[in-house]
Structures are given as structure tokens and as C-alpha cells.
Structure 1
Amino acid sequence: MSAGGEHLNEEGNRLQVVAAGGIAGLVSRFCVAPLDVVKIRLQLQIHSLSDPLSHRDVKGPVYKGTLSTLKSIVRDEGITGLWKGNIPAELLYICYGGVQFTTYRTVTQALQSLPHPHNPSTPLLPQPAQSFISGAVAGGLATLSTYPLDLLRTRFAAQGNKKVYPSLLSSLRTIRATEGSRGFFRGASAAIVQIVPYMGLFFTTYEALRVPVAQHWQLPFGTGDAAAGVAASVLAKTGVFPLDLVRKRLQVQGPSRQGYVHANIPVYHGVLGTVRAVVRQQGVRGLYRGLTVSLVKAAPASAVTMWTYEHALRVMKEVGGEQV
């Protein structure tokens, strides 16, 4: 059996997988929340960083790089400003992690049970294909089921000292009243288009690297899982980053668009329309605004997620047994 299959069979029951996935998401989110806020602020900034003349009519801060943005947020909004949107984000990561890992495990098991028509003793699909399909399905389902929380996370992180939404409950009421139920899914098409190749690439790379890294590098404290997660995340994140930026721009559309810290966010319509508008206004480089901090965030986020998931699952298996 393949390494990925052996790894899957080592996992515990569904409840343990859900709990481990949720714990991994919770811990990971808290650790990288400040970088997430910085990334969102940079992605929503539309003026040129190299042309001072473009800053003349800007209402709000002008961010230039990761460290500069961190300092600016702390100076203008206090240290708590780095954790804006953390409540919906924590809920997002817990739910997302549970759905993602459970779906990945279930789909992989289903694919492994499909026999090859000419050789019933071997799986129908090779391991890389299983990992890609399972990762894509898991990512798509987790993204769609938790998308309103993702939108709320973005909108709270985009707020400056002026509060568009005073509380999580008020945001739910306001969006429902002014934008309807569809308002909670602004940019969802970009998210789905993004997450399918992202999670497919991520899990394919992770499963391919996890065992070789553990065997050949002998990293301490079980950090082989973390190293494989870092490499997988960087590769996948870079490939689909423009869609992540498009998603953020679409998430802050609506009646509250001019109330965020970047008050000059244009009106965008649809994924392709947003891509064309960004390229026309800022060039192709505009689609990669915030990529550096995104990669800086993705590496520790994926490392913490996979390390926490593997170890939390191992502890629960030891305490509660492995019965499905």
C-alpha cells in the first residue's frame, strides 16, 4: 500500500479527526492572525506604492510592506488591531479544519476502495491523483460551508478606528438587512475557483513530501510534518494568489465599501471583471499585492496546522483508542 494510504489508516475515528482538525485550525489562526490582517490591508490597497502622486487623494493610511504595515496598525489602532476579525476567523478555522480533514479522509478512503478493472488488488487511481482529488473536494466543501465566516473575517480586518460593524451580531443583522442572504457569499465564486487547485496542490505535495522528509531529514520534535506543510503551502499559495486577492476585493463590496480603512476601494463586478480592473489600474503586479506577507503567513500557518493536527490526533488516539 502507498505511504499516503498507510498514513490514512493510522488515523483515528471520525470524531478524533474532526476534533484534531478543529484544534489545528484554532491554534494556527491565533498564531498568524496579525499577518492575516496585514495581508488583507495590503490586498485592499489600490494606490501605487512607487508613485507618491497616487497617494494625494487617499483617505486613510498608506501601507508599504509587511513590517511597515504592522507598525502602522499598532500605532493607529493599538496592538489589538492586529487581531481584528479574530472571532469570526477562529470560528472559521475551527469549522473549516474539521470539515476539511474529515472530508479529505472520507474521500481518500472511498478512492482507495475503488478497484482497478484489470487488477482488483490495486487502487483505481495512483496516490498523487487520490491526494489531489481528495484535497480539492475537501477544500471546496469546507470553503463553501464556512464562507460567511470568511467574509466577516475580511470585513472586520478591513475596519480602521471607524467601526462599520460594532459587533459580530450587528454585522450579521446589517448584512442581512442591506444585502440579503447573498451578501454573505460575495466573492464565493473566486473562493471556490481558488481553493480547488490550491488544496489539490497542497495535499498532493504534502503527502509526497511528508514521508521522505521524515525518513531522510530526521527533524526534531516531529517537525517533518511541519516542513512538508510549509513546502506544500508555499507552492500552492503562489499558484492561486491572484484569485485570493480578487476574493478579498469582492468581499468588501456593498453599501459599506467606503467605510473601511481603505475608503477608495472601487466597485468590482465578478471574478473576471475584477481581474481586468486590477490589471488595468495596477498592472499584473497588482494581482500579487500582499503575496510576500501571504507566503510569510502561509508557511507558519501550514506548519502549525499540520504539526498540531498530527500531534492532537496522536494524543486522542492514545487516550481514547482508535475504534471507528
Structure 2
Amino acid sequence: MPAATDDSQQTSSGLSSRESMICGGIAGLTSRFFVAPLDVVKIRQQLEIRQLNSSRNRFSSQRQYRGILRSLHTVYKNEGLTSLWRGNIPAEILYLVYGSVQFATYNQILSLLSPFHLPSSAQNFISGALAGATATTATYPLDLLRTRFAAQGSNLDRIYSSLRDACRQIYNDEGIPGFFRGLRPATAQIVPYMGLFFTSYQPLKSTLSSFSDKLDVNTFGSSDAVAGMLAGVISKTGIFPLDVVRKRLQVQGPTRERYVLKDIPVYPTSITGCARAIVKNEGMLGLYSGLWVGLVKSAPASALTMWIFENSVITLRWVEEKYGILEA
């Protein structure tokens, strides 16, 4: 990734594919663990059908998962503490592989675009969008498994007893296409998301780094974390309806009525068809179910990811220089 300051150039410029994959994997793996409970709550809120009060055009207050803290408490009270990390194993694998593929692809595409002398914003958008689309497609079955595990109940209400059992059931009942339910909205979502993220991240990082240098308050890459947080919030808000559509489609199929939320309707498989069905039954706000918890999750996740990535590169290069154990 292009750098904004002399200090960050050692971190972000001239990254090898190995450095991108190692540091991207570390960043994704670590950030995922800390935001896992928020992810479970977000998925539950996105799947819950919101009944509109026709007289006020507002959501009914009779909702099982309402508010972030209340939803966290509901999951904990009804299903136990470990349920807040339900689906974490496929999610950790997802974030590990996704982070590695994303950062490696991003830097490769950025290098390929360099000879064309495009504006930096255009290079960042194209590289981020293509990197996101590539990583999303490569890891999508893991994303679907993460959603289904987060949506299922505990004990007798469990649909899948293990990751292996889930793969077996989906393959036997739904075939290979079953692992890719909702891929189209996922791809449609990730292209603008990653494009917006990397396009906004670099200018934000540059501005914050300059501001921090003037005030002498930059501590161990704080501008990376803040820029990542703000870029994540901007990007997430812009594409959130596609995320809701993706989640609703991921739990379609023969197990649709067996999740914790048992009233999940049958939706058209197209993006526009599913979106229209949600708006018809729940209003425009239905497309933003779980937005607040999504933003609360996105901010620290993006900040942690970029902060850990940047400082992982520093650490990796220090190890290479001092011990030479990772030299090619």
C-alpha cells in the first residue's frame, strides 16, 4: 500500500507477497477473535424479521434481539457464554485465509497498475475492489458456514454438530451450490466496500499522520488504527443493505426453519428480488437491520486489522534483519 509518511514507508511500501500474506493473516485472525460476539449479535439481528407498526411505520418493539447490550445478554442468558463465539472456528479460518489473500492480491494488483500512472485514488479503489472480490470468492464457503453456525441454537436445537458435519450435510442436501448461497450479493458488496475502504484509508492515514506529527502525539501507529476505523465505518454504511441480503440468502435451504429464528421467509435468489421482499415486509429500515452493531463491530475490527497489519510488517522485517530466519 502507498505510504503517507517516511516512517510508514518502511511498513507499507515494497511489500513482498510473503509479507502481505503473513501479516494480512495475522491481522485478520487476531481482529476476528475480539469482535466475534458482536458478529453473532449482528447476524441474529440481520436475520430477525422486523414487523412494522403500520400506523407509525416503525418497527414493533416485540423483538428478541434489540440493542447491542441487550442482544449480547439474550444470547448469553439463553445459550451460554461460549455461544457468543459460535461459528468462530470457520470464521477464524475465513479471516486468516481472507486476510492473506486480500493483502497479497491488493499489493500485486497495485504493482501491476503502477506503470499506468493512474491517480493514487483510482489505483487504491481498483486494487481494493479486485482484492476483495478475489478473497471473497475464495473463502465464501467459510463465510456461509460462519453465518449458519451463528444462526443455530444450542444443545437440542443445534443443526450442525461440527464443522465436518456441516460440510457433509450441506453437500448431501444442497450440493456444491449450497456452499455459495448469496455469493452474488457478497461480491456486489465487497467490491464497493473494499474500494471505498482502501480509497478512504490512505487519505485518512495521510491526514492523521500529518496531524499527529505536528502535535507529536502519534504513538506506535495510532494513525493506522484511527484511519482504519473511520474507513471501515464509511465503507460499511455504504454497502450494508447488501450485507443483510447476503445473510438472508445464506440461511435459505432445507434447514431454513430450524435456526433460532424459525420464521425466516423464503426469499428470491436474486439481489433485487430479495431486497424488494425485505422492503415490502419490513420497510426500507429492514435493509439496515443490525447496522449499529455492524458499525460498532466494523470500527474496532478495521482499526485492529490495519494497526496489527502495519506493525506486523515492522516486526516481521525486524525478525528478518536480526535473525534472517524468514529470508527467501
User: If the length of structure 1 is used for normalisation, what is the TM-score?
Assistant: 0.91
Of 143, 151, 155, 1:158 maps to 151
Supply the distance in 2 between the matched residues of 1:292 and 1:305 (Cα, whole angstroms).
20
Shift of residue 237, structure 1, vs aligned partner: 0.4
Asked whether the equivalents of residues 12 and 317 of structure 1 are also in contact (C-alpha less than 8 Å), the reply is no
SS at match of 2:220: helix
The offset of 1:222, in angstroms, is 1.4
d(CA) in 2 for partners of 1:285, 1:151: 24
Q: Which amino acid aligns with 1:304?
A: L
Q: How far did residue 212 of structure 1 move?
A: 1.8
1:149 corresponds to 2:148: no
Q: Are residues 1:45 and 2:48 paired? A: yes
Choose from 199, 203, 209 the match for 2:204: 209
Aligned to 2:193: 198
Instruction: Report the Cα distance in structure 2 between the residues aligned to 1:15 and 1:28, rounded to whole angstroms.
Output: 20
Are the structure 2 counterparts of residues 53 and 241 from structure 1 closer, same or farther at C-alpha, using a change threshold of 3 Å? Answer: closer
User: Deviations for 1:16-42, whole angstroms, at most 9, x for unmatched residues?
Assistant: 210000000000000100000000000
Partner of 2:267: 268
Aligned to 1:278: 278
Structure 1 residues 271-312: Cα deviation after superposition (integer angstroms, max 9, x where no partner): 111100000000000000100000000000000000000111
- How big is the shift at 1:138? 0.3
The gaps in structure 1 that reach 5 residues or longer are 56-60, 115-122
Does the C-alpha gap of structure 1 residues 180 and 5 become closer, same or farther in structure 2, counting only changes over 3 Å?
A: farther
Equivalent residue runs for 1:43-82 within 5 Å: 43-48=46-51, 62-82=64-84
| % identical aligned pairs | 52
Distance 1:278 1:79 in 2: 31
Count of residue pairs the alignment pairs up: 309
Residue pair 2:87, 2:145 contacting (<8 A) in 1 also = yes
What do the CA deviations read for 1:141-173 (whole angstroms, capped 9, x no partner)? 000000000000000000112101011000000
- The DSSP-based 3-state class of the residue aligned with 1:241 is helix
Aligned AA (1:316): L
In structure 2, the partner of 1:311 is 311
Within 5 A, what are the aligned runs for 1:60-209? 62-114=64-116, 123=117, 125-161=118-154, 162-209=157-204
- Match for 2:266: what amino acid? V
Unaligned runs of 5+ in 2: none
The residue type equivalent to 1:182 in the other structure is P
Report deviation, 1:316. Answer: 0.5
The residue type equivalent to 1:300 in the other structure is P
User: 8 Å contact 1:226–1:304 — kept in the other structure?
Assistant: yes
Distance in structure 1 (CA, Å) of the matches to 2:327 and 2:91: 32
State whether residues 206 and 228 of structure 1, in contact with CA within 8 Å, keep that contact through their aligned partners in structure 2. Answer: yes
Using the size of structure 2 for normalisation, the TM-score is 0.90
Residues 100/4 of structure 1: CA separation in 2 closer, same or farther (3 Å cut)? farther
Shift of 1:10: 2.9
1:219 positional shift: 3.0
Q: Secondary structure at the match of 2:64?
A: coil
